[in-house]
Amino acid sequence: LLEDYRKISVERRGIEEKDFFTSQQVKECMMKVTPCVLEETVVIAPDFEIRPYYAGHVLGAAMFYVRVGQQSFLYTGDYNMTPDRHLGSARCDRLRPDLMITESTYATTIRESKRWRERDLLNQVSECVRAGGKVLIPVFALGRAQELCLLLDAFWERTGLDVPIYFSAGLTEKANWYYKM
């Protein structure tokens, strides 16, 4: 992702490479990364440990429980407690951290149920396609595109629609490769 971000910023947006990191710096950065296995504790020092957990949000998303001495915290970006078609729900041990740090874009948003939102989307797509129209649905490449393709494919099978589904290549195609692993 760092290399994709660099390419978009430097090559497409025209940011001077001297004002941004290079491909070589991305490679050097990645050499310093120590991979962690989900649900396995990594001891950094006698009184300092980290334990990653599956976040269930997008492919590769993780939550991190960190303990230093007697203090602990759980750090996560988005997490999902409801399984999707393409990913399971977040899972972690029963923890009692002193602090939890999390992303909260939709923390106070009350939305219709996922089932209702999906039914509404499928009805609108079906109406448009059956009337000879075309539907364009912009989605994030990582996660939502896969979820949407699975939803549409199941609906197509159930209803007998025989219309091709296309998605933009690039990151979506790369993500699909990892989902197939």
As annotated, the active-site residues are: 103
Distances (CA, A) of 42 to 53, 66, 70, 160, 172: 12, 10, 17, 51, 32
Extract the tokens encoding 88: 């399971």
SS3 11: helix
Contact 36, 49 (CB under 8 A): no
Instruction: Return the closest-CA partner of residue 143 out of 60, 40, 81.
Output: 60
Greatest distance between any 2 Cα atoms in the chain: 66
| Helix, strand, or coil (residue 9) | helix
